Amino acid sequence: MAKPSVRDKIVDAALERFHTLGFSGCSVQDIVDTAGVPKGSFYNYFKAKELLALEVLSIYGQDSNREILEDQSLPPIDRLRAHFEYMAAYYADFGYEKGCLIGNLAAEMTDNTPLLRQAIGQSLEKWTAAVTATLREGQKDGSIIASLDAEKVARFVINSWEGAVVRMKIARCRQPLDDFFAVAFPLLNRPTAE
């Protein structure tokens, strides 16, 4: 196997450090120390910490197993559950301490990092589109309530998940995620008597 490049080492270290310390809580020095590369090399690859964070965010999004939302072998509602359970298992590996990198970065955003704010917005839009499409498939096959506004509910479900994950970071246990599954999922397929 090829040795990881200096650039790869920096990106891998940054993902771990941003996730553990946050964006502001993590200095370029922290990243190069973890990567085991000289500080000077950082600026050969990235002009600013914010630009590195853009790349880290993109990798984190790719790693979150959204493909499962398109898995035609499962009913749409089961895909949604599997999607969130996949993330829950990932958080469990870290003792429920780290939260979601996207939500953590979002909560930290200020006017000082406009590119990162924009990229987080786009990442959330992309995620919303994937969940919306799954909800619509479920509406077609009758397993998800047809009268729901799929896009609005997708945004709500993702935002609720992100809020549950922030609470999880504080409680350091799965309870907030269990609350999410117990309350949000019946919303999608429980018939109402309006």
* Sole window of 2-10, 45-53, 83-91, 102-110 interacting with a copy of itself (rule: CB under 8 A): 102-110
CA distances from 46 to 21, 28, 68, 102, 157 (A): 19, 10, 33, 20, 35
Q: Which of 20, 34, 58, 189 binds a copy of itself (CB under 8 A)?
A: 20
> Which residues between 123 and 162 bind a copy of itself (CB under 8 A)?
124, 149, 152-153, 155-156, 158-162
Residue type, 32: V
- Can you tell me which of 5, 24, 44, 62 binds a copy of itself, judged by CB under 8 A? 24
Task: Give the separation between CA 4 and CA 113, rounded to whole angstroms.
Answer: 29
Site membership for a copy of itself, residue 64 (CB under 8 A): no
59 Cβ contact partners less than 8 Å away, ≥ 6 residues apart: 11, 15
Least distance in Å: CB of 155 to a copy of itself? 5
Q: Is 55 in the site for a copy of itself (CB under 8 A)?
A: no
What three-state secondary structure class fits 2?
A: coil
Of the two residues 89 and 170, which places its CB atom closer to a copy of itself in the complex? 170
Buried residues in 19-36 as b, exposed as e (16+ CB within 10 A): bbeebeebebebbbebbe
Residue numbers at the binding site for a copy of itself (CB under 8 A): 20-25, 97, 99, 103-104, 106-112, 117, 120-121, 124, 149, 152-153, 155-156, 158-167, 169-171, 175-176, 179-180, 182-184, 186-187, 190-194
